[in-house]
Amino acid sequence: MLEVLFPNVVWERAWEKTLETLYMTSISLVFIFFIGIILGLLLFLTSKGNLWENRFFNTIIASIVNIFRSIPFVLLIVLLLPFTKFIVGSIIGEDAALPALIIGTAPFYARMVEIGLREIDKGVIEAAKAMGAKTSTIIWKVLLPESMPAIISGLTVTAIALVGYTAIAGVIGAGGLGDYAYLEGFSRNRNDVTFFATIIILIIVFIIQFIGDLIVKKLDKR
Amino acid sequence: MFGKDITNLKGAELRKTRQEIGMIFQHFNLLWSRNVRENISFPLEVAKVPKEERKKRVDDLIRLVGLEGKEESYPSQLSGGQKQRVGIARALANNPKVLLCDEATSALDPETTDSILDLLLDINQKFGLTIIIITHEMNVIRKICHRVAVMEEGRIVESGPVLEVFKHPKQPITKKFVRQVTEKEDARETIAQLLEKYPSGKIIRLSFVGDVAEQPVISKLIKNSNAVINILQGNITQTRFGAYGNLYLHLNGSEEDMKQAIRFLQEEQVEVEVIEHA
């Protein structure tokens, strides 16, 4: 049945490409998680009326975040090529896609973390301060736990966007399902391969969404 | 506070001092991501109390505020009164020297307010803990406070023992507040109407304080006076240090009889005020 629908799909090849996509997505997601939380915390804490209020610093971080969020991803990959060569030592393959994926997506995630932190009731932070809590205690025991559902649902959205970005990166030499769909499917006029790659990407996206929702539901005690 | 000016404290010293002040809030400000036990444990974690001790202390506090069986519940599963109990337990966790209540009952219904006030009173008596209550509800003050200070535009304009201030409010703002508990809202209208209706005779207001409020003064007055006495309206307010009441009477009769009645009341230690206009 499957052979009839997808005559040109080689299963081992498709599986290999799926693993490449999963590899790029998961490795960059780990980096994005930490970088995004740190940037998001900085954006939140330095903003007006918060613990480290500092307009200068806030403007700088916000500008950096906005710039990297605004550059179209395809262009970002190209612009980062010298940097990628310097860090990874190559401009082709899955590892070479990581710098662009991380730099392109972390600022987006940082904004989501910031939004999540803003939703925390100011009174709770006030209460922690009134108990004599240090800023580090407030970050670890109040800010992060209280915004965890938002942090995780933001990560879900980011991960899904990331899967899309790996496909774009794949087209210009990074491997993965994007590469498979474009080079072995579209370029060789094998539409079944393109279509098959698309289905797998959709399945990955659904699974990510499902896991994300499950974790948020578990965490959210409101 | 405790002989220190806390407005000048900074950093570690300020944090240390803050641990000596328990605080509860109008909107409870509990961490929704933590259950009751973990919420109460939070200030102990801040104060770096060892885990074993923390557990013991939290158990004691849960018993004190009457939340047994709710240890594992999250704030979203609790009622307003229960949330405030968690707030109180949390504020008491580090054995503070003073408990600061910022409009602690303003978000609660009257019945829950009463139960929270009883709890505060209980804590006050059991531990001899000073409690400072910030409120606009006169009933709260009446029920549990010893002393009261009235603030206007950020400054204290009047202060003293509760009964004293309620009986003789000096500042206009205090009078306005005190009227909330001592006079029904329609009292003034009623008096205005009565003044119109009975041009003859006098309307007088009697103020009773402490023991006098519980004496049968009116009964004595009726026996001792020839004036015709009609009771218009009255109320009695219970404070921590005795009752405090107002009574409006309509007197009629000869000028001499009325004067004699008023004199009798004054001899009975009742404050009398003749009302000419409302």
Task: List the single range of A4-13, A63-72, A81-90, A191-200 with lowest mean pLDDT.
Answer: A4-13
**B87: nearest CA partner in chain A:** A127
The CATH number of the domain holding residue B267 is: 3.30.70.260
**B94: nearest CA partner in chain A:** A131
* Interface A-B: count of C-beta contacts within 8 A: 60
| Per-residue pLDDT at A147 | 95
| Per-residue pLDDT at B184 | 60
| Per-residue pLDDT at A208 | 96
- Say what the alpha-carbon torsion angle B253, B256, B258, B261 is, to the nearest 10 degrees: -130
Which is more confident, B241 or B112?
A: B112
Chain B residues in contact with A126 (beta carbon < 8 A): 25, 29
DSSP state letters, B184-212 = -TTHHHHHHHHHHH--SSEEEEEEEEGGG
The CATH number of the domain holding residue A51 is: 1.10.3720.10
Smallest Cβ distance to A141: which of B14, B17, B45? B45
The token pair at B109 is 């219904």
Query: Given pLDDT bands bounded at 50, 70 and 90, which one contains residue B213?
Result: low
Smallest Cβ distance to A148: which of B21, B33, B76? B33
**A138: nearest CA partner in chain B:** B46
CA atoms of A119 and A77, how far apart (whole Å): 33
- Looking at the fold, whether B26 and B112 belong to one and the same domain comes out as yes
| Per-residue pLDDT at B217 | 80
Secondary structure of A93-119 in HEC code, one letter for each residue: CHHHHHHHHHHHHHHHHHHHHHHHHHC
Residue A5 lies in a domain: no
Q: For residue range B149-208, list pLDDT tens digits in order.
A: 999 888 999 998 888 888 788 888 888 888 777 666 566 677 777 777 777 778 888 887
DSSP letter at B78 equals: S
Q: How much of chain B exceeds pLDDT 70, in percent?
A: 93
- Identify the contact set of chain A against chain B, taking CB-CB distances under 8 A: 121, 123-124, 126-134, 137, 141-142, 145-146, 148, 219, 221-222
| Per-residue pLDDT at B186 | 65
Residue B151 lies in a domain: no
Q: What are phi and psi of A221, to 5 degrees?
A: -100, 10
Query: Given pLDDT bands bounded at 50, 70 and 90, which one contains residue A221?
Result: confident
Residue B141 lies in a domain: no
Query: Given pLDDT bands bounded at 50, 70 and 90, which one contains residue A141?
Result: very high
Is B46's CB within 8 Å of A137's CB?
yes
**A146: nearest CA partner in chain B:** B33
- Looking at the fold, whether B23 and B100 belong to one and the same domain comes out as yes
**Which domain does A214 fall in, by range?**
31-219
Short-list B144, B143, B148, CA closest to B124: B144
- Looking at the fold, whether B129 and B197 belong to one and the same domain comes out as no
- Say what the alpha-carbon torsion angle B255, B256, B261, B262 is, to the nearest 10 degrees: 70
Residue B171 lies in a domain: no
Residue B180 lies in a domain: no
Give the mean pLDDT of A149-175.
Answer: 92
Which is more confident, B267 or A123?
A: A123
How many other CB atoms are found less than 10 A from the CB of residue B67?
A: 20
Residue A106 lies in a domain: yes
Residue B176 lies in a domain: no
Segment (H or E) for B215: none
Chain A residues in contact with B25 (beta carbon < 8 A): 123, 126-127
Residue A169 lies in a domain: yes
Is B23's CB within 8 Å of A131's CB?
yes
- Nearest-neighbour CA in chain B from A124: distance (Å): 5
Is A130's CB within 8 Å of B47's CB?
no
The CATH number of the domain holding residue B87 is: 3.40.50.300
Query: Given pLDDT bands bounded at 50, 70 and 90, which one contains residue A100?
Result: very high
Short-list A181, A215, A187, A219, CA closest to A199: A181
- Looking at the fold, whether B200 and B110 belong to one and the same domain comes out as no
Residue recorded with tokens 């393109």:
A194
Smallest Cβ distance to B29: which of A123, A132, A141? A123
Q: What are phi and psi of B231, to 5 degrees?
A: -85, 125
- Looking at the fold, whether B10 and B131 belong to one and the same domain comes out as yes
**A219: nearest CA partner in chain B:** B33
Q: For residue range B81-115, list pLDDT tens digits in order.
A: 999 999 999 999 988 999 999 988 888 888 899 99
Residue B231 β-bridge partners? B249
| Per-residue pLDDT at A93 | 84
- Say what the alpha-carbon torsion angle B122, B123, B126, B130 is, to the nearest 10 degrees: -120
DSSP letter at A191 equals: H
Give the mean pLDDT of B18-23.
Answer: 88
- Looking at the fold, whether B123 and B194 belong to one and the same domain comes out as no
For B67, the 3-state DSSP assignment is coil
Give the mean pLDDT of A19-47.
Answer: 95
Is A131's CB within 8 Å of B46's CB?
yes
Give the count of domains, chain B. Answer: 2
How many other CB atoms are found less than 10 A from the CB of residue A174?
A: 27
Mutate to test the interface with A, among B20, B26, B32, B44 (most CBs of A within 10 A): B32
Residue A96 lies in a domain: yes
CA atoms of B166 and B148, how far apart (whole Å): 9
Smallest Cβ distance to A222: which of B21, B23, B76? B76
Residue B1 lies in a domain: no
**Among residues B135, B154, B176, which one ends one of the domains?**
B135
**Which domain does B227 fall in, by range?**
187-275
- Nearest-neighbour CA in chain A from B40: distance (Å): 12
- Nearest-neighbour CA in chain A from B148: distance (Å): 24
| Per-residue pLDDT at B182 | 67
Query: Given pLDDT bands bounded at 50, 70 and 90, which one contains residue B2?
Result: low
**A149: nearest CA partner in chain B:** B33
Is B18's CB within 8 Å of A219's CB?
no
Query: Given pLDDT bands bounded at 50, 70 and 90, which one contains residue A4?
Result: confident
| Per-residue pLDDT at B201 | 79
Short-list A155, A153, A146, CA closest to A222: A146
Smallest Cβ distance to B33: which of A131, A133, A221? A221
Residue A78 lies in a domain: yes
The token pair at A114 is 């910031």
Smallest Cβ distance to B23: which of A124, A130, A133? A130
CA atoms of A194 and A197, how far apart (whole Å): 5
Give the mean pLDDT of A29-37.
Answer: 97
- Residue B212 pLDDT > 70, yes or no? no
- Nearest-neighbour CA in chain A from B265: distance (Å): 53
8 A C-beta contact, residue A179 and residue A173: yes
DSSP state letters, A14-53 = HHHHHHHHHHHHHHHHHHHHHHHHHHHHHHHHTSTTSTT-
Give the mean pLDDT of A128-151.
Answer: 93
Burial class of residue A48 (count of CB atoms within 10 Å of its CB; 0-12, 13-18, 19+): exposed
Give the mean pLDDT of B42-56.
Answer: 92
- Looking at the fold, whether B10 and B114 belong to one and the same domain comes out as yes
- Say what the alpha-carbon torsion angle A144, A146, A149, A151 is, to the nearest 10 degrees: -30
Q: In the predicted model, what is the mean pLDDT of chain B? A: 85
With a CB cutoff of 8 Å and minimum separation 6, the contacts of A147 are A113, A116, A117, A119, A120
Residue A183 lies in a domain: yes
Each as own residue / partner, the long-range contacts of residues A142-147 (CB below 8 Å, 24 or more positions apart, any chain) are A142/B31, A143/A41, A143/A44, A143/A117, A144/A37, A145/B31, A145/B33, A145/B34, A146/A120, A146/B31, A146/B32, A146/B33, A147/A113, A147/A116, A147/A117, A147/A119, A147/A120
Highest mean pLDDT among A22-36, A78-92, B91-105: A22-36
Query: Given pLDDT bands bounded at 50, 70 and 90, which one contains residue B1?
Result: low
Q: How much of chain B exceeds pLDDT 90, in percent?
A: 30
Give the count of domains, chain A. Answer: 1
CA atoms of A20 and A17, how far apart (whole Å): 5
What is the ipTM metric for this complex? 0.82
Mutate to test the interface with A, among B13, B17, B31 (most CBs of A within 10 A): B31
Residue B254 lies in a domain: yes
**A120: nearest CA partner in chain B:** B31
Residue B174 lies in a domain: no
